Amino acid sequence: MNNPAVIRLVADNFVPVALNTDRLPAGQDGQFFRNLMRQWPQGLWVVSADGKTLAHHYHRPRPGESYQAGQDRWLAETVGMIEAGIQAAGSRPKRTFEKVDALADRGTGFAPDGGVRVAVSVVGFQKGRREGPPAVDSIKLAKDEWSAFAVPAGKDGWDIPAAVGAKFAPALSPVTDSIYVPKPGDVQKAELSARVVRRDGDLAIISYAGCWEAKHFRDGDPRFPIRSAATGDGVGAFDLKANALREMAWVLRGSYDNGTRWETAAVLEWRAAK
Amino acid sequence: MTRFLLCAVVLGLIPLAVGAVEPELDAVLKRAAPFRPSTADLAYREIPWVIDPAEAIRQARAEDRPLFVWLAGGRKQDGTPLERC
């Protein structure tokens, strides 16, 4: 979906919608999309406003096909599907729309309940060479969890609860498919600490450090264990007057083994305002 | 006096206006830079994705325009195809 031609075709011709099939609502609106899943449980569709499938594509790797050849074929077939959908729908003027970003809160601002959504991205390396696209993800922290990163009254050093540190689990896997990503419950070790390293008027600079270990099974199957570990450090800029973090950033480096061993690097970022 | 203040700012003796990055944050962001997604990695966000099923159907019917539907999941968990799902 990062290809410029695909972006233009989709943005110019359709109302684009991206949905988690496990979170479709009950009722007619959810059923509209569940009907598509009778054809295949996931993928890309062009659908008329009254629910008729005009085109569909789901990428299936072919045995013996190289990764690049598979990617090239996936792109070509996706463009072909979109063009078939445009033709089936009939001619329409180019769509005009206001710019929207469904991930606008990723890595910035606060949720209505005072929680935050920390932006996470993870890349993987094999034998020192970066492999595959970055895994784009986020970590949602409730208000009380987020407060663990703030300077406690009367202290310059503190530990962050393991349960909060375990929420960093998405940062431990470079794979874009979520079945290969540990969940907080899979984290066996999450030791995080923080200390104020500098004060300057109403600003406190916080230094964070952490280490993690996780073990989980792909699809819950003990025949497919996945082990990951990481250490990392971060910095927070804390407003002492407002008693709130302005910004926080971490870099983690680690390892990931799903039968193939990877080195990993993860970045976590959040700021109060864009 | 003005020349003195200008020199002081240039020498970093007086912080710039609000928005200056603290050196400790700047250092970690520099280390993070090689590992962050590039603009090209996030180009799909240029598409004006709708993530509410009812709103998507409403827009399609109001505009008499088909939907482009991206469905992913089957992992029995939260998330959106726009991130890991």
Cα(A217)–Cα(A180) distance, integer angstroms: 8
Cα(B74)–Cα(A168) distance, integer angstroms: 22
Angle between helices B53-63 and A28-37 (to 10 degrees): 90
Spatial strand order in the sheet of A43-47: A15-20, B67-72, A43-47, A53-57
Is pTM beyond 0.80? Reply is yes
Residue-wise pLDDT tens digits, A133-191: 899 999 999 999 999 999 999 999 999 999 999 999 999 999 988 889 999 999 999 99
User: Which of A209, A249, A211 has the alpha carbon at shortest distance from A228?
Assistant: A211
CB pairs under 8 A between A and B: 230
> Per the CB < 8 Å rule, is B50 touching A17?
yes
- Which two three-digit tokens encode residue A120? 């996470």
Residue A252: list chain B partners with CB under 8 A: none
Residue-wise pLDDT tens digits, A73-86: 999 999 999 999 99
Half-sphere exposure of B17 (CA within 13 A, CB side): 0
Total count of domains within chain B = 1
Residue-wise pLDDT tens digits, A83-142: 999 999 998 999 999 888 899 999 999 999 999 999 999 999 999 999 888 999 999 999
Interface test with A, best of B47, B59, B63 (most A CBs within 10 A): B47
Task: Show the domain range for B49.
Answer: 2-63
Q: Where are the domains of chain A?
A: 4-89, 116-271
Of B46, B64, B79, the CB nearest to A178: B79
The verdict on residue B57 lying in a domain is yes
Cα(A46)–Cα(A52) distance, integer angstroms: 9
**Quick one: how many helices (H) and strands (E) in chain B?**
3, 1
The verdict on residue B25 lying in a domain is yes
The verdict on residue B74 lying in a domain is no
> Per the CB < 8 Å rule, is A265 touching B24?
no
Of B25, B67, B79, the CB nearest to A237: B25
The verdict on residue B69 lying in a domain is no
The verdict on residue B79 lying in a domain is no
The verdict on residue B70 lying in a domain is no
Cα(A15)–Cα(B62) distance, integer angstroms: 11
Q: A138 in helix, strand or coil?
A: strand
User: Which of A186, A212, A197, A200 has the alpha carbon at shortest distance from A268?
Assistant: A212
